[in-house]
Structure 1
Amino acid sequence: MRMFQQRGLSLVELLISITIGLVLMTGIVQLFLSSKEVFTTQQGLSRLQETGRLAVEFISRDLRQAGYMGCAHPTDWNVGTTLNNGHTFNSSFEFGTPLQVYDAPPPNIALAPAPKAGTQILVAYTANDDSASVSQTNTSELVFIDLTTPAGEDCPSGICANDIVVVADCDKAMVFQVTGFNEVGAEVELQHQAGADPGNARTSWGGNPDNLVETFSEGAEVFKINTVAYYVAEDAEGNPGLYQKIGGDPSFELLRGVENLNISVGVDNNADRAADEYIDHGSVGANWKNVVALRVEVLVRTPEDKATSENQTYEFAGAEVTATDNRIRQVFTTTIGVRSKLP
């Protein structure tokens, strides 16, 4: 009878093999976790950089255009308005104060969701939409513009009934509310009857050849005036973001991850159309007409709570802050000149 000899691993060899495998597996897992952490950090930084750049770009675009109403400098204009006194377009709106900074929601501008506590609200008033060209000299009840959209559109040439608009040339401007319109061939007739909300104080203006201040001929332009608000709010899950509100439209989240705004105001103290100092907006008082620039700080955080292994320390609004979580934060700072206020 032949005997077959079995061969295999001894218990000692098996234990050694398992130990070596565990060591190798631990190294592989550690390498994987390290790579994942690096990837998460890099992805968070990439999104943080993108959000910060876009936030600065959006805010800068509207601030530069604040107070824009045409081809001349506002301080050189004869700027008039037919809007009712105490109109609700904005309680503090004046042609010399095209922007405001608030610590609480401003009157007559409904912000929903509500601004995050302790953050600032930036509001700019500007004619930043495309313009419509005046097609012929206005009459006492009508302003005429070229029809630039297909006939039958709800808002021909981009201007709707109840819009607040300004008609301007390089010498003067008039602000009024459009109460209705008619399409006549290649023209649109803009009506401005007296009324409320905010309403025109008078129906008839213009059409008098002896009153050139209210006369607008070919070469003038009509712009829609918008109220643009930027602020920080949180969604239902508590995630902060930069919100934008234009006119009467609802607020919408423009960028997620923006945690705070801080705005310093550049004031022209000697009428040379240059900022002489940057101060807190609460110190401006009644001198908003002298504001020619803003310095804006935008605090952005990464979406992941474990983007870093340590609590980050950063500087914002002149103070050193230590984070209470493991997100990465970065402050983006820019200085923006208000073009309508500068030389």
Structure 2
Amino acid sequence: MRIFACHSGMKHQRGLSLIELMISLAISLLIIAGVLYVFLGSRQSYNQMDVMSRMQENGRIAVDLMTHDLRLGGFMGCRRYGANTISVIASNPPFQEADIVDGQAIRGVTYSAGNPAYVTDSLGNGGVVGSDVIVIRHAAGDGVRLGGGLVAQLGQGATTITLTPTGAVPSRIPGESDGTPLAAGSAGRDLALITDCSKGDIFRVSAIAGGTAGTPTVSITSDAGLTYGYSADAVVFPFREDRYFLRDTGRLNRQNQPVISLYRMAAEMNSDNADELVEGVEDMILEYGLDQDGDGAADIYQRAGVVTNWAQVVSVRVRLMLATVDDNTLTEDATFTLLDGATVTDRRLRQEFSTFVAFRNRLQ
């Protein structure tokens, strides 16, 4: 008997159906979208953390730099301000004698358009209206004593000061006021202070020369005769006037907005040569602590426009508002309150840095 195989008309399925393929693609797209969302979120978080860390680092640098210089404000070579009678004999000084003897070695002002003029550079990049400017005048560096035995004393009207350095003979006064080294035998613009802690002269160095190998001395020539005479215990310091302020750098961020930075400028620098210290400092407010009862401690803090007696200033509160340079750090607009109480809405991150600094030479 023969058995015939019966074949149905149905064919066996091979591969995926269109519906299954579409479902697979949809699931794959969902997975990819999820991974991409996590990646973009992580990237955004990383970018925010990166710019935040850089902003915090800039804030710490700005505070540290200002604190270092502010502590020296009013230092005239001696422990207590006022124990020194200072005479300014330098030609064309960047300050007047009254700025020293009347206790204005520390002075602040709130910037308005074009005032102070030195804030604006030759390209017209000016300061931040409403932010503060501070000027500090002080002796700097390590004082060098007059040569014991080599120079017994200096008479009134002397123009040459002979120093005995403890190490190698220097070719310039360290910590020069204008940022330009003063080479031996050359004329310069450096300011220096000679003092014996009862009196002092601020003079302009017109020349400096090293001694012979057997006589390691340095001779400094003043551009004018000294007002007072000095014994061998007198000390010579470099003398500085530093100005801190905010200025438009002239650069633009990626949103074509101006970039603001903190600047420091020595008194005799051209405004174009001011040192840019930290970018992204959006505002600076300084509040001065006044000792009104003579106990060496601040009794009240006031803005520069309110202070009437700068000789009473013993400390300062520094407030800096740091902001990210680019206006796209955040994914959506956020509102911030600035130092002056005004509000701003944009996509920057901001952080306030604040510190109190005592002018050491004015403390009891």
**TM-score, normalising length: structure 2:** 0.79
Deviations 1:131-178, CA, capped at 9 Å, x for gaps: 32321333423211124676683x266664332211123433222222
Cα distance in 2 for partners of 1:252, 1:19 equals 59
Task: Determine the structure 2 residue equivalent to 1:199.
Answer: none
Change over 3 Å in CA distance of 1:176–1:156 after alignment to 2: closer
2:360 is matched with which residue?
339
C-alpha deviation, 1:313, in angstroms? 4.0
Query: Residues 106 and 88 from structure 1, CA distance in 2 versus in 1: closer, same or farther, beyond 3 angstroms?
Result: farther
Amino acid corresponding to residue 71 of structure 1 in structure 2: C
Q: Is 1:317 equivalent to 2:339 in the alignment?
A: yes
Contact 1:149-1:156 within 8 A present in 2 as well: no
SS of residue matched to 1:101 = strand
Report matched runs for 1:182-193 at 5 Å: 182-185=209-212, 186-193=216-223
Match of 2:203, as an amino acid?
F
1:186-219 superposed Cα distances (whole Å, 9 cap, x missing partner): 111112233xxxxxxxx2555xxxxxxx2131x4
Letter in 2 for 1:327: R
CA apart distance, 1:279: 1.1
Paired residues for 1:113-124 under 5 Å = 113-124=125-136
The separation in 1 between residues aligned to 2:329 and 2:119, in whole angstroms, is 35
Contact 2:94 2:268 in 1 (8 A): no
Confirm whether residue 299 of structure 1 aligns to residue 299 of structure 2.
no
The correspondence for 2:231, drawn from 197, 216, 227, is: 216
Matches for 1:127-206 after TM superposition, within 5 Å? 127-135=139-147, 136=151, 137-139=153-155, 140-147=158-165, 153=171, 155=172, 160=182, 161-185=188-212, 186-194=216-224, 203=225, 205-206=227-228
Q: Residue 81 of structure 2 corresponds to which residue in structure 1?
A: 74
Q: 1:79-119 deviations in whole A, cap 9, x for unaligned?
A: 333346xx441257324211111223666846534323332
Change (3 A) 1:296 1:152: closer
Query: What is the aligned partner in structure 1 of residue 300 from structure 2?
Result: 277
One-letter amino acid of the counterpart of residue 78, structure 2:
C
Stretch deviating more after TM superposition (276-285 or 94-103): 94-103
Give deviations 1:279-333, integer Å, cap 9, x for gaps: 1210113x111111111110001234233345444444352x4332111111111
When the two structures are aligned, how many residues end up with a matched partner?
Answer: 319
| Paired residue type of 2:261 | G
Partners of 2:169 and 2:217 within 8 A in 1: no
When Rg is computed on C-alpha atoms for both structures, the one with the higher figure is: 2
Written as runs of structure 1 = structure 2, the 5 A alignment for 1:88-127 is 88-91=93-96, 93-95=99-101, 96-104=103-111, 109=118, 111-112=120-121, 113-127=125-139
User: 2 CA distance for matches of 1:31 and 1:308?
Assistant: 17
Mapped to 1, the partners of 2:166 and 2:119 lie a distance apart of 32
TM-aligned CA distance change 1:190 to 1:110, over 3 Å: farther
Structure 2 CA distance for aligned equivalents of residues 327 and 157 of structure 1: 41
Q: 1:267 to 1:256 in 2, by over 3 A?
A: same
Taking only the aligned residue pairs, the percentage that are identical comes to 27
How far apart, in 1, do the equivalents of 2:52 and 2:280 lie? 12
2: CA distance, partners of 1:130 / 1:151: 14
Q: Is the 8 A contact 1:111 1:251 kept in 2?
A: no
Tell me which amino acid in the other structure corresponds to 1:35. Answer: S
Gap change, CA 1:48 and 1:157, over 3 Å in 2: closer
Give SS of 1:90's match: coil
Contact 1:267 1:275 in 2 (8 A): yes
Residue from 274, 293, 306 that aligns with 1:251: 274
Closer/same/farther in 2, CA of residues 171 and 152 from structure 1, 3 Å limit: closer
